[in-house]
Amino acid sequence: EVQLVESGGGLIQPGGSLRLSCAASGFTVSSNYMSWVRQAPGKGLEWVSVIYSGGSTYYADSVKGRFTISRDNSKNTLYLQMNSLRAEDTAVYYCARDSCSGGSCWFDPWGQGTLVTVSS
């Protein structure tokens, strides 16, 4: 069964750092495109970042320069390192496996999400 389990969320002060993890089972992270998507409380979905199977990474403008996506092939785990956190980064963070065809990508499945709260 394909499954994604996020961890690492919590309460962090503005300006702080946090690393989220997404443990995958049932497939190989390094052979797939993988994304992070977030959802602020009561708001819609916002795409955050993607890592391609070849290792290329891309980010939403709102997190570029502050967040870093990476993976550990030996642990079959995806990460999101978040630095210089702001109140507006408060959200549930989901990891998802990307499926792509014809230049378009979609997300399936998704993890259950982990809540990040940035507050003093």
Please pick, from the candidates 50, 63, 85, 118, the single residue that binds other proteins as defined by CB under 8 A: 50
- Would you say 83 or 113 has its CB closer to other proteins? 113
Q: What does the per-residue mask of binding to other proteins show for 9-38, with x meaning CB under 8 A? A: --------------------------x-x-
Which among 6, 2, 1 has a CA at the least distance from the CA of 77? 6
Spatial distance between the Cα atoms of 80 and 53, rounded to a whole number of angstroms: 16
Report the site for other proteins in 52-111 (rule: CB under 8 A).
Answer: 56, 58, 60-61, 94, 99-111
CA gap 5, 109 in Å, rounded? 11
